[in-house]
Amino acid sequence: MPTVVLMDASLSMTRPVSLEQCSEELQRKNLAVAGLTMLFEHMANNYRLEFTSLVAFSSLWELLVPFTRDYNTLQEALNNLEDYDKTCLESALHGVSNVVQQEWGHACPTQVVLVTDGSLGIGKGSLRHSLQTLKGRPEDKKFPLPFPFPAKLFVMCIANAEELQMTDTMHNLEQLLQLNGGDGQIFTMEGQLCLKSVQMFTQIMLIDLYPDFPAVLRCGNLASDVQVFPRPEPVFLDEEIDPMPRHILTDLEIVGFIEIGDISSPPVMSRHLVLPIAVNKEVDDVGPGTTEEPEEETSANQQAGKVPNFCVLLHGSLKVEGMVALVQLGPEWYGMLYSQADSKKKSNLMMSLFEPGPEPLPWLGKVSQLGPISDAAENPYGEDDSKSPFPLQPKIKRSYAQNVTVWIKASGLQTDVQKILRNARKLPEKTQTFYKELNRLRKAALAFGFWELLKGVAELLERECTLLPDTAHPDAAFQLSHAAKQLKLASTGDSQYAAFDQNINPMHTDFSGGGAGM
């Protein structure tokens, strides 16, 4: 996930570190830079795909390096960092919020690493002041936390815990973390402030910042060790019923395959690259997710390239066949694997996670109820692949897929009445449709208690009867007056004629013969 390094560039960072052993004079800033250098080196070696940006702040903030994978640029900017005035965290956090939203929108989990010496300003603009005035702020001056995107907040304090606890800094920082939903951590230095302790503490921090996610992708007996990038974040479902976070399994098991057309652009929570990794016991420092390794390791890399890998086979076939593989991520949690093309030449195996639950996609039904085609009596895809069992049809049709009656707008009512009249003029040919429409109107009018309408339509039909041309079929007149009479009876509310389940049946006349029959 992308990282924003928020670097305190206030004057207090230039405070010298009291060192007995060391002759050289060091500033806290130097220690911070040393720690970050380590961080960047680690990233450059192990997580080439991660994006990082650098923001410096004092009373103002500045985006020094926009999100990049180029760690040299970051390092350079860090080395050239100048010193400014006082610490003003609130505006800087606003800045971070803007920077992230502009780049990644609101759905992308991001981590913010605040690097500071622990003196968070005095008076207006200080963190203490910001936190004291949290409540009762107008809508446009809200405190930037919690961020509008999922964010982890790490505080890298170039100070030791005792120092921070003497003032209320520690308390304020903890409050800050809570404001962000509690996701994050405060790192303080152990013992003396010196280069060595900075290194130690960066080491510890790295584990939390970039935990690995080694997994195994399985399809029956075929398997491959993979690195899932970015690392899937735990997911919370209904916080009331099920407050425990859900983690995906490290054993990703393929359930079966589905055509792309059948799965049809499903909604997903996140997307991840699935990169095959060589589990190489001899070369320990081959970092997972490493794509371009330093030169001395090239031979090992080449070796790995020549060993057949299941991921490559799977990717190739998914791409050629236009299919996805349904993969189980946990109990009642599924995802899909597919080939994602970045450009004409480059493509990759990608995994998308569905929302946890037994039925993430209504058009597939319950995933646990998806079985092998060999279980079905006859191949649901047809012998020549002309059919598909998907999508599943919902049991009840939606309002727009059926003929519902809505008379809220006058036009709806008029259309329905006109339809009856149109058919009335074409009696006896349209006897069936005429009665069908008539009964639909009758039912709706009864349900809405709209008796006045029944009377009105009855009168309309009577008038139609008088307007019949001489050439009209004699049956037309009979049917019209019969229908009008029945509607009038229904409009009295008399239970004998106004029963909801009843229908008006065509009148049986000598002319109608069998054609207009029941």
Q: 320 or 518, CB closer to another protein?
A: 320
Give the integer Cα–Cα distance in Å for 499 and 518: 19
Q: 202 or 340, CB closer to another protein?
A: 340
Query: For residue 81, is it left (φ>0), alpha (ψ between -120 and 50) or beta?
Result: beta
Report in angstroms how near the CB of residue 243 gets to another protein at its nearest.
8
Give the integer Cα–Cα distance in Å for 200 and 195: 9
Report in angstroms how near the CB of residue 39 gets to another protein at its nearest.
18
- SS (HEC) of 311-360: HHHHHHHHHHHCEEEEEEEECCEEEEEEEEECCCCCEEEEEEECCCCCCC
Q: How far is CA 296 from CA 42, 283, 285, 292, 293, in A?
A: 17, 11, 12, 11, 8
Report in angstroms how near the CB of residue 306 gets to another protein at its nearest.
5
Which single residue is written with the structure tokens 């990049």?
Answer: 68
Report in angstroms how near the CB of residue 338 gets to another protein at its nearest.
6
- For 15-60, strand residue ranges (E) read 52-57
Tokens of 112: 């913010």
Q: 43 or 311, CB closer to another protein?
A: 311
Report in angstroms how near the CB of residue 121 gets to another protein at its nearest.
28
- SS (HEC) of 425-451: CCCCCCHHHHHHHHHHHHHHHHHCCCH
Q: Which residues contact 122 (CB under 8 A, 6 or more apart)?
A: 86
From 396, 390, 385, select the one nearest 370 (Cα to Cα). Answer: 390
Tokens of 346: 């480059």
From 62, 59, 50, 60, select the one nearest 99 (Cα to Cα). Answer: 62
Secondary structure of residue 13 in the 3-state scheme: helix
Report in angstroms how near the CB of residue 329 gets to another protein at its nearest.
13
Can you say whether the dihedral through the CA atoms of 434, 440, 444, 449 is positive or negative? positive
Report in angstroms how near the CB of residue 57 gets to another protein at its nearest.
23
Q: 211 or 308, CB closer to another protein?
A: 308
Partnered with residue 352 across adjacent β-strands are 271, 336
Q: 124 or 344, CB closer to another protein?
A: 344
Report in angstroms how near the CB of residue 175 gets to another protein at its nearest.
24
Give the integer Cα–Cα distance in Å for 508 and 518: 9
Q: 283 or 460, CB closer to another protein?
A: 460
Q: 85 or 242, CB closer to another protein?
A: 242
Q: 450 or 511, CB closer to another protein?
A: 450
Report in angstroms how near the CB of residue 7 gets to another protein at its nearest.
22
From 75, 47, 58, 64, select the one nearest 14 (Cα to Cα). Answer: 58
Q: 135 or 345, CB closer to another protein?
A: 345
Contact by Cβ (8 Å): 206, 193: no
Q: 114 or 490, CB closer to another protein?
A: 490
Q: 41 or 242, CB closer to another protein?
A: 242
Report in angstroms how near the CB of residue 272 gets to another protein at its nearest.
8
Report in angstroms how near the CB of residue 343 gets to another protein at its nearest.
9
